[in-house]
């Protein structure tokens, strides 16, 4: 199977492409290169990778592939707020254009990596289902992902199937690490400062998924019979594993040296989202159960950064908004987030 992964040099893409290759998939990648030099350790970029802005991809970029896994995006809520117009162009318009090109090129399977942020703020204690539950996106990032999902539905047919994956907040080690996501942030800041600072009262719910488990699920969708995945959406996370931010912080604390404290700061609330998500569909329809817990992920992170400079694993290289802002300030990127000529 020949597979194209967009955003192949990101946090997930770097891990996913190696994972798929090790499982016999013939993988190629495309990436604009924002984070190409953000690796904390040497990266075995053995896959064929084309440097291209997803906004500029043409049909030649998708010819000859059996499937496309679409990761490329302005990748989280703070980055999405940097310029809502750009977020719309990259996360929505470019997604639809890519799918149209893939369909025209004869690609059979399109896997869209969406987000659970589309659920936004939920007032119910019930776990959110992929279809029944109300979508309440709060940010430009979440809104463009939900818009893209709805538009992509119109492109499905017997020769072109689309599957919509809504991952929980990802955690765990990747050579192009991110520390602007909740568990990675809490544990590595806890390592640096000897305390874990939570910017809420700890009660919001945050489902989580280890990067290896997400990659396992993507592989399962790639290899699944058409009738089991075509046109379907799947929440991806730990079965019966919805956690409060307090529980996530306590898991991070348990991995850190004795004496590491947790503080709760409600004065500067950074993220108001809260939702509990159901992962029954992935289990019942694709027999998928995530098997990597927070404690394992925490110890893995601490081991991996042991010989890496603190200013690297907690610097701009692991924070998407900081790194993009840095490139713009240097003049490497222009205001359209294109590489300056």
Indicate the helix (H) or strand (E) that contains 186. Answer: helix 182-193
Q: Which CATH number does 2-267+274-330 carry?
A: 3.40.50.720
User: pLDDT tens digits for 284-304?
Assistant: 999 999 989 999 999 999 999
Q: Looking at the chain, which runs of residues are DSSP E strands?
A: 2-6, 26-31, 48-51, 67-70, 109-113, 161-167, 169-171, 195-198, 208-210, 233-236, 261-264
Share above pLDDT 70 across residues of the chain, in percent, rounded to a whole number: 95
The 10s digit of each residue's pLDDT in 165-217 is 999 999 999 999 999 999 999 999 999 999 999 988 888 888 999 999 999 99
Say if residues 173 and 239 touch (Cβ distance below 8 Å): no
CB 64 within 8 A of CB 42: no
DSSP class of residue 340 equals -
pLDDT at 204: 86
Question: How far apart (Å, rounded) are the C-alpha atoms in residues 311 and 154?
Answer: 46
Does residue 340 contact residue 218 with C-beta atoms inside 8 Å? Answer: no
Q: Which has the closest alpha carbon to 50: 108, 92, 7? A: 7
What pLDDT shows up at residue 77? Answer: 59
pLDDT of residue 284: 95
**Distance, CA of 290 to CA of 209 (rounded, Å):** 7
Of 76, 36, 34, give the one whose Cα is nearest residue 55.
34
pLDDT band at 315; cut points 50, 70, 90: very high
Confidence class for position 272, pLDDT limits 50, 70, 90: low
Return the domain boundaries, the chain: 2-267+274-330
Residue 271: what pLDDT?
A: 61
- Model pLDDT for residues 71-86, shown as the tens digit of each residue: 999 876 566 567 789 9
Give the count of beta carbons closer than 10 Å to the beta carbon of residue 46.
Answer: 10
Do residues 66 and 107 make contact, with C-beta atoms less than 8 angstroms apart? yes
Among the listed residues 318, 284, 319, the one whose alpha carbon sits nearest the alpha carbon of residue 304 = 318
Q: Give the confidence band of 248 by pLDDT, cuts at 50, 70, 90.
A: very high
């Amino acid at each position: 199977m020949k597979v194209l992964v967009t955003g192949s040099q990101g946090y997930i893409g770097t891990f996913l492409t190696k994972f798929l290759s090790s499982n016999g998939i013939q993988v190629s990648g495309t990436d604009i290169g924002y984070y190409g030099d953000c690796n904390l350790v040497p990266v075995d970029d053995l896959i064929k990778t084309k440097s291209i802005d997803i906004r500029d991809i043409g049909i030649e970029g998708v010819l000859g592939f059996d499937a496309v896994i679409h990761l490329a995006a302005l990748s989280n809520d703070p980055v999405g707020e940097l310029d809502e117009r750009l977020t719309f162009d990259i996360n929505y318009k470019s997604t639809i254009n890519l799918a149209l090109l893939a369909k025209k090129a004869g690609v059979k399977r399109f896997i869209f990596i969406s987000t659970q942020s589309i659920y936004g703020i939920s007032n119910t204690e019930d776990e959110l289902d992929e279809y029944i539950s109300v979508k309440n996106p709060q940010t430009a990032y979440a809104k463009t992902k939900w818009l893209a999902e709805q538009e992509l539905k119109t492109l499905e047919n017997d020769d072109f199937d689309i599957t919509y994956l809504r991952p929980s907040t990802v955690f765990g080690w990747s050579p192009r690490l991110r520390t602007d996501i909740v568990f990675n942030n809490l544990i590595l800041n806890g390592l640096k400062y000897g305390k874990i600072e939570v910017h809420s009262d700890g009660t919001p719910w945050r489902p989580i998924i280890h990067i290896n488990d997400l990659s396992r699920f993507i592989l399962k969708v790639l290899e699944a019979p058409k009738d089991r995945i075509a046109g379907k959406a799947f929440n991806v996370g730990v079965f019966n594993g919805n956690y409060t931010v307090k529980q996530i912080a306590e898991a991070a604390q348990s991995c850190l040296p004795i004496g590491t404290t947790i503080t709760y700061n409600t004065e500067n609330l950074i993220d108001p989202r809260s939702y509990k998500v159901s992962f029954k569909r992935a289990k019942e329809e694709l027999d998928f159960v995530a098997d990597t817990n927070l404690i394992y992920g925490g110890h893995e992170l601490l081991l991996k950064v042991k010989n890496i400079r603190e200013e690297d694993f907690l610097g701009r290289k692991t924070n998407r908004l900081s790194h993009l802002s840095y490139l713009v300030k240097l003049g490497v990127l222009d205001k359209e987030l294109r590489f300056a000529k």
